């Protein structure tokens, strides 16, 4: 457990768990969450996804489609522990919700389908959890489904995720025969009774399962003692090892990310959820179990460390903004150190602005409960922050800290949008602004050439949901164009270019001259700016404005007006005038130099390439691969999954994937599914580039 049990208000920090439920779409995350809320006493009736009555899927769009779209935050209690729980989406179009949740969470429950095991989106969320170093437990769900196979599912975690799963339970029966689970640490049979499975009955292991249970126990024992030197010595000395010692060692190994305890059950049939809650308390970290958060002092650049302690200076990260049409702007935040009280003033270190905290609320999906204070290690939301956005740091003005922000993938698909009526004309801008504030992967821009408003997102479903929300929440009816690919532009050779902005109109003029060197970066990623001037041909105060001018010019390339990526810009020379030089002159000069360099640098068009995973019956594999090849796909592998199905891995240009959902259904008689996520940008073939540049696509 936590080392010293420091207090957060009336709650010990070692009794707090901040965790998320993550999984592939349709693995049963929301169903599992509903049972957690019921058994912890948060709800008095279990909601069902298929009935549209779940607590965390509260949006109309979620209930209609039976999918999670936005990460919902819930607080509940189990065994005197406060659990701050976030139910995240499984659909790749809403991956930003998973990303920002994992950034502020301490632990995770990863839900797997007992028939399919690890699915493509399971791999994506697992990688995201790895990136943020989030300890996790695994729950093999749907053990009552025909074809459920616990051993196979655990093996897929080991093989596909390169993880170290440790089953601490095994099922009693599978598919239609699934009746309960065997707890390997206590060597007891667990079954469920009561109308909603609220009673957990402990019993003796059936005779026909005892041999298997003992074999699995010894395997579990060996896996745990491998992680603990003291237990290894005890084991070799043939000393008795208690259940408590095994649990403590398993907890330490889980917190270190060395292993992942695996449980099983059927959320829909109300079996197996209470042991998952016990595992959350027993094996997932409290805020004191995770390393102190580190950031930088924005004034000195020094590294600053903050511990999960109310007595330390405030350090909090805003991870989500919700524009509620009724109550206003709601900002979700995680406090890493110090405390926030209602009505207090805080410093937004990211934007160097003071903010006043209005109401503080604890969230129960779409319901709110007012609270006075939020201490270290806790998650809550506030109303009243006007200029704070996702990824911003809140701290004390006298003891500032800047935490690492949250990085999000670039949008890859865009559509033109326009209001249906004149009445909608005035409202559409505000609605788009509010939605863009909420969702960092939703970008709004105006095409300079056509004057059209373009919205960009992570996929067709993502944009469809956002347009639907405009109509329902903001009462704005809009016409949407055909989906278009979010191309990019870059250069292919190193060039030197000059930008001159000189104006004399009597009195004070404008004077700025810069010379820059543009170099293409590998993999067509990112932007780097360097000041290589020596001897001060340009005063230091003008250098940031040259960079700002270059960045502004990068928003629109020279081929077809798409944003520019994958370039290093080095300022190598320039000239200034004692009286006429200004910030604006050097900003414009930087912009002109960049445009000139783009024209000289053999510019090319880049197209987004998606990583696509298709799961289909073996008899259709040939047809699916043939269809993918016609879409300019690079097939990277075919992996048998068992049960007569295979996964086809491919990289496919996004422009070739529109309408694929219908095609895959037709090709496989409705039995094929696919997931798709952005992989990288690649040079577009000349035929495609010419069509885009000349406006034919």
pLDDT in the model for residue 1? 32
Decide the pairing of beta strands 188-193 and 443-446.
unpaired
- Band of residue 46 on the pLDDT scale cut at 50, 70, 90: low
Q: What is the mean pLDDT of residues 569-575?
A: 94
Q: Give the SS3 label for residue 628.
A: helix
Mean pLDDT in residue range 496-524 = 88
User: What is the structure's pLDDT at 289?
Assistant: 95
In a 13 Å sphere around the CA of 327, the CA atoms on its Cβ side amount to 16
pLDDT at residue number 90: 54
252 vs 169: CA distance, rounded Å? 19
Rg (CA), the chain: 28
pLDDT at 72: 66
Tens-place pLDDT, residues 144-168: 999 999 999 999 999 989 999 999 9
Instruction: Give me the pLDDT at residue 91, please.
Output: 57
Give percent of the chain above pLDDT 90: 55
Beta-sheet pairing, 165-167 with 136-141: unpaired
* pLDDT confidence tier of residue 462, bands split at 50, 70 and 90: confident
Distance, CA of 402 to CA of 396 (rounded, Å): 11
Give the residue with greater pLDDT, 304 vs 34.
304
DSSP symbol at 10? T
Q: Could you read off the pLDDT of 608-618 as tens digits, one per residue?
A: 999 998 988 89
Q: How high is the pLDDT of residue 11?
A: 59
60, pLDDT greater than 70:
no
Share of the chain above pLDDT 70, in %: 91
| Mean per-residue pLDDT, 257-267 | 97
Tell me if residue 622 falls in helix, strand or coil: helix
Residue 581: the pLDDT is 87
Regarding predicted confidence, which is higher, 427 or 216?
A: 216
Residue 2 has pLDDT above 50, yes or no: no
Q: Give 168-190 pLDDT, tens digit per residue.
A: 999 999 999 999 999 999 999 99
- Confidence at 422, pLDDT banded by 50, 70, 90: confident
Comparing 52-61, 197-206, 550-559, which segment has the lowest mean pLDDT?
A: 52-61
pTM (predicted TM-score): 0.76
Q: Are the CB atoms for 103 and 317 separated by under 8 Å?
A: yes
Beta-carbon count within 10 A of 307 CB: 16
| Band of pLDDT at residue 195, cut at 50, 70 and 90 | confident
Residue with the bigger pLDDT between 119 and 282: it is 282
Span 314-329, mean pLDDT? 83
- CB-CB contact of 140 with 153 (8 Å): yes
Q: How confident is the model at residue 366 (pLDDT cuts 50, 70, 90)?
A: low
- Decide if pLDDT at 522 tops 80: yes
What's the rounded mean pLDDT across residues 321-339? 85
**Averaged pLDDT for residues 588-594:** 96
Strands (E), 544-697: 567-575, 604-617, 634-642, 645-653, 673-683
Structure tokens of 681?
């940008």
Q: What is the mean pLDDT of the chain?
A: 87
pLDDT at 10: 47
How does pLDDT run across 7-36, given as a tens digit for each residue? 444 458 899 999 988 887 788 888 898 898
Which pLDDT value is given to residue 365? Answer: 57
CA distances from 393 to 209, 324, 350, 657 (A): 54, 22, 6, 38
**How does residue 45 score in pLDDT terms, banded at 50, 70 and 90?**
low
At 434 the pLDDT is: 87
Given a cut of 50, whether residue 59 has pLDDT beyond it is no
pLDDT at 426 over 60: yes
Report the distance separating Cα 171 and Cα 537, nearest Å: 74
Give residue 3's pLDDT: 37
Who wins on pLDDT, 45 or 461?
A: 461
């Amino acid at each position: 457990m936590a080392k010293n049990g420091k207090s957060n208000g009336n709650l010990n920090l070692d009794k707090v768990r901040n965790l998320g439920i993550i999984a592939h779409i349709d693995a049963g995350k929301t169903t599992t969450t509903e049972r957690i809320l019921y058994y912890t006493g948060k709800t008095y009736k279990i909601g069902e996804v298929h009935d549209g009555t779940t607590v965390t899927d509260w949006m109309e769009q979620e209930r209609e489609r039976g999918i999670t779209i936005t990460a919902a935050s819930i607080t509940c209690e189990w065994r005197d522990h406060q659990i701050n729980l976030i139910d995240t989406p499984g659909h790749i179009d809403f991956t930003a919700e998973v990303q920002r949740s994992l950034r502020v969470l301490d632990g995770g429950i990863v839900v797997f389908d007992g028939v399919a095991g690890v699915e493509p989106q399971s791999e994506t969320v697992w990688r995201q959890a790895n990136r943020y170093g989030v300890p996790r437990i695994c729950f093999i769900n749907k053990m009552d489904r025909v074809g459920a196979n616990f051993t196979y599912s655990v093996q897929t975690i080991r093989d596909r995720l390169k993880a170290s799963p440790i089953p601490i339970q095994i099922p009693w029966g599978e598919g239609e025969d699934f009746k309960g689970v065997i707890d390997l640490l206590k060597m007891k049979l667990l079954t469920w009774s009561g109308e909603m499975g609220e009673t957990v009955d402990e019993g003796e292991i059936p005779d026909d399962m005892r041999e298997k249970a003992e074999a699995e126990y010894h395997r579990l024992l060996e896996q745990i003692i491998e992680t603990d030197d003291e237990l290894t010595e005890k084991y070799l000395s043939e000393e008795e090892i208690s259940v408590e010692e095994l649990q403590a060692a398993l907890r330490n190994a889980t917190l270190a990310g060395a292993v992942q305890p695996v449980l099983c059950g059927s959320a829909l049939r109300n079996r197996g959820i209470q042991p998952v809650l016990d595992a959350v308390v027993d094996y997932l970290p409290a805020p004191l179990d995770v390393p102190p958060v580190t950031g930088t002092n924005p004034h000195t650049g020094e590294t600053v460390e903050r511990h999960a302690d109310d007595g330390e200076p405030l350090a909090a990260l805003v991870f989500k903004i919700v524009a509620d049409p009724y109550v206003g702007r709601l900002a979700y935040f995680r406090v890493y150190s110090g405390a926030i009280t209602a009505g207090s003033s805080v410093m937004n270190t990211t934007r160097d602005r003071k903010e006043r905290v209005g109401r503080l609320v604890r969230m129960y999906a779409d319901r709110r409960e007012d609270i006075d204070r939020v201490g270290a290690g806790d998650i809550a939301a506030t109303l009243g922050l006007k200029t704070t956005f996702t990824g911003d740091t809140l701290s004390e003005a006298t003891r500032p800290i800047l935490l690492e922000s949250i990085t999000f993938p670039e949008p890859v698909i865009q559509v033109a949008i326009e209001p249906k009526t004149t009445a909608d004309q005035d409202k559409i801008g505000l609605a788009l602004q509010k939605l863009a504030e909420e969702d960092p992967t939703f970008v709004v821009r105006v095409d300079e050439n056509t004057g059209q408003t373009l919205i960009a997102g992570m996929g067709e479903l993502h944009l469809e949901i956002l347009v639907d929300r405009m109509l329902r929440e903001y009462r704005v009816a809009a016409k949407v164009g055909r989906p278009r690919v979010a191309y990019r532009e870059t250069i292919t050779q190193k060039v030197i270019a000059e930008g001159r902005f000189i104006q004399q109109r009597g009195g004070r003029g404008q004077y700025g001259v810069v010379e820059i060197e543009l170099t293409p970066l590998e993999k067509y990623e990112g932007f780097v700016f360097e000041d290589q001037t020596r001897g001060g041909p340009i005063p230091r105060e003008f250098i940031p404005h040259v960079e700002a001018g270059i960045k502004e010019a990068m928003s629109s390339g020279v081929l077809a007006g798409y944003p520019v990526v994958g370039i290093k810009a080095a300022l190598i020379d320039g000239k200034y005038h004692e009286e006429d030089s200004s910030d604006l002159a050097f900003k414009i000069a930087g912009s002109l130099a960049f445009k000139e360099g783009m024209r000289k640098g053999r510019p090319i068009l880049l197209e987004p390439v998606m990583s696509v995973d298709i799961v289909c019956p073996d008899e259709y594999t040939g047809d699916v691969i043939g269809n993918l090849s016609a879409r300019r796909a690079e097939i990277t592998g075919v992996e048998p999954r068992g049960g007569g199905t295979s996964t086809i891995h491919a990289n496919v240009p996004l422009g070739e994937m529109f309408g694929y959902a219908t095609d895959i259904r037709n090709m496989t008689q409705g039995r094929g599914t696919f997931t798709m996520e952005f992989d990288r940008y690649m040079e577009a073939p000349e035929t495609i580039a010419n069509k885009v540049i000349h406006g034919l696509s």
